[in-house]
Structure 1
Amino acid sequence: MQRITYVNGDYLPESEAKVSIFDRGFLMADGVYEVTTVIGGKLIDFPGHMARLKRSLGELAMAAPAGEEEILAIHRELVRRNELDEGLVYLQVTRGAADRDFAFPPEGTAPSLVLFTQKLAVLERETVRRGLKVASVPDLRWARRDIKTVQLLYPTLAKMEAKAKGADDAWMVDDEGLVTEGSSNNAYIVAGGKVVTRPLSHSILHGITRGAVLALTASTGIELEERPFSLAEAKAAEEAFITSASAFVTPVVSIDGVPLGTGAPGPVAARLRELYIAESLKRAI
């Protein structure tokens, strides 16, 4: 059975889903996106994703394609039509279709809105059991990583470079030797019994899962430090982990071939994953 997608007001089989060749998402990477996890047919952290979508659109002076209630209804309808129990809903907004020009399209050009689903096991994952191996790469992205744009070429190259080194993912490192984030996730270490992660800025994505997990550390008494950490400090850490909408909390067991702690997933990551899933399911809509 083909997936049912949503394209600019229409629910269509994926073979019929099309956007204009003049769409600025295709020509200029002039678009933003969100990915919401689905468990038991319900949406995880949906309000957070909508708040970030609104922020991304505002930072790029891009018109919203619909209100939050309408977008929620589209998500739910796609989940229903695709009989999605566990997986993801991908949403993308672009500045719309217009003749190719570096200047924005004429005022009144309608933004494009596309959504589709993806079946994915998010609760039971092999990477959680064994932990991730990461490799460091230089961070060569643009300076506004806080905006969730569709400009994903360098993160893709970084991930493939890491895979070529025998790792699962990349951790990107700035010119000062400080870890920024993973190719599609926020990065953390556990040092001196404290969870350490880089503070919010233009340098990293303002992760929705990140925010939820940091709130959990406060409520459970796990000490937290929001500060930059170096690649060298990460390699000497007791444990490490990443967070994202699809990975939740997933342990990291080695960096550039250097084992962390015992070389196995650590207890802090395991505890935070357990807590995050339990709390997220309570809030799912």
Structure 2
Amino acid sequence: MPSTAPTQPDLPDLPCLLNGELLPLREARVSVMDRGFVFGDGVYEVIPVYGRRLFRFDDHMARLQRNLGKLRIPAPHSRDGWLALARRLIAALRDSPDQLLYLQVTRGVALRDHVMPAGLAPTVFMTVSPLRGASAEQRHQGAACVTARDFRWERGDIKSISLLGNVLARQVSADQGAAETVLLREGHNGTLYLTEASASNVWIVQDGALLGPPPSDWLLEGVRAELLRELCEDCGIAFNRKPISEAELFAADEVILSSSTKEVLPVTLLDGEAVGHGALRGKPGPVYARLYEAYQRAKLEQSI
């Protein structure tokens, strides 16, 4: 009889590390009882690599350590241990100097029980792929985005592998041919406030200043948040974190996304309406341009 097993997709020829063992991605295997598979019980990090050098590595490691602590998962490696593993993996992808490093730590393997078992050995998975950032067209013309209610859970501050809410949110924009879904959550007064996007932080420019939502349990504190604060200081751009209402979002002079892959990216169309005012309406703005140039300098200066 013919096999009824589903056809497995061909995985790319990429290297990975699974619990310290270097092997091809297509050969990696994890127990079906791993709590990452059963519960999404784990955290992850995504680190850009430029010229085989890790960008803002210590900031990513600090966030990983915070998130492991929030889930009570013991840290499998020290900072130097993570660095050695990362460099080993980066070297294994020989043809791509610019890479995206993904690392994931789950609580480990145990029989299914909602209670956190003690004493498990965490499962550590790492892989790299060629870095594919925003296109030249997106940088020149800006990205189109749509808005949606933020229906995800209330611990968005944890970089959890439980990303179904983000997957559903991103599909909202994908179904409309847009680059991102900008999320708004109802505040105590019934007003909708900006949180983040499905896979990006979101910023607005108002009277020449870069503004972002304040840190909270509703949004992930992106590594680029501190970076943008530093870049604004270097460029003489005012920087502030404050609640941003839906009305302020749509009245902004500029809207900017930030993430590991996008770096900084201008949003020029939001729910079908052009962003900005006057001659710059619907075009990337001057604050974005200055931050993008400063970001390129930082990539050279802040990678190890």
Percent sequence identity over matched residues? 38
Give CA-to-partner distance per residue, 1:165-201, whole Å, 9 cap, x none. 3321100110131110011111111112211111112
- Which residue of 2 is the match for residue 274 of structure 1? 293
1:87 aligns with 2:99: yes
Map of 1:174 onto structure 2: 185
TM-score, length of structure 1 as denominator length: 0.96
Who is 1:35 aligned against? 46
Out of 70, 73, 91, the residue aligned to residue 62 of structure 1 is 73
Partners of 1:25 and 1:94 within 8 A in 2: yes
Partner of 2:8: none
Change (3 A) 1:277 1:123: farther
Q: Secondary structure at the match of 2:267?
A: strand
**1:44-123 matched pairs, under 5 angstroms:** 44-83=55-94, 84-105=96-117, 107-122=118-133
Deviations 1:203-227, CA, capped at 9 Å, x for gaps: 2111101111112112321012211
Inter-partner Cα distance in structure 2 for 1:125 and 1:32: 32
TM-score, scaled relative to structure 2: 0.90
* Matches of 1:233 and 1:80, distance apart in 2: 45
SS at match of 2:108: coil
Q: Give me the CA root mean square deviation.
A: 1.4
CA distance in 2, matches of 1:124, 1:168: 11
Distance 1:91 1:51 in 2: 14
Distance of aligned partners of 1:258 and 1:75 in 2 relative to their CA distance in 1, 3 Å threshold? same
| Pick aligned residue for 1:236 from 251, 265, 286 | 251
Report the residue type matching 2:285 in the other structure: G
1:200 maps to amino acid:
P
| In 1: Cα distance, 2:132 partner to 2:300 partner | 15
* Aligned equivalents of 1:108, 1:121: Cα separation in 2: 39
Letter in 2 for 1:269: Y
SS in 1 for 2:101: strand
Residue 235 of structure 2 corresponds to 220
Q: Distance in 2 between matches of 1:194 and 1:108?
A: 49
- Structure 2 residue corresponding to 1:153, chosen from 164, 167, 188: 164
Distance 1:93 1:125, change over 3 A: farther
Instruction: Name the structure 2 match of 1:195.
Output: 210
Q: 1:86·1:122 contact (CA, 8 Å) conserved in 2?
A: no
2:265 alignment partner, SS class:
strand
Letter in 2 for 1:170: T
TM superposition shift of 1:130: 2.1
Aligned counterparts of 1:42 and 1:123: Cα–Cα separation in 2? 20
Unpaired segments ≥5 residues, structure 2: 1-11
- Hey, what's the Cα distance between the residues in 2 that align with 1:201 and 1:145? 8
Q: Does the 8 Å CA contact 1:145/1:202 hold for their aligned counterparts? A: yes
Partners of 2:142 and 2:267 within 8 A in 1: yes
Q: Take 2:81 and 2:62, find their aligned partners in 1: how far apart are those partners?
A: 14
Residue aligning to 2:31: 20
Larger-Rg structure: 2
Unpaired runs of at least 5, structure 1: none
What is the match of residue 7 of structure 2? none
CA distance in 1, matches of 2:168, 2:192: 20
Give SS of 1:129's match.
Answer: helix
SS at match of 2:13: coil
The one-letter code of the counterpart of 2:45 is E
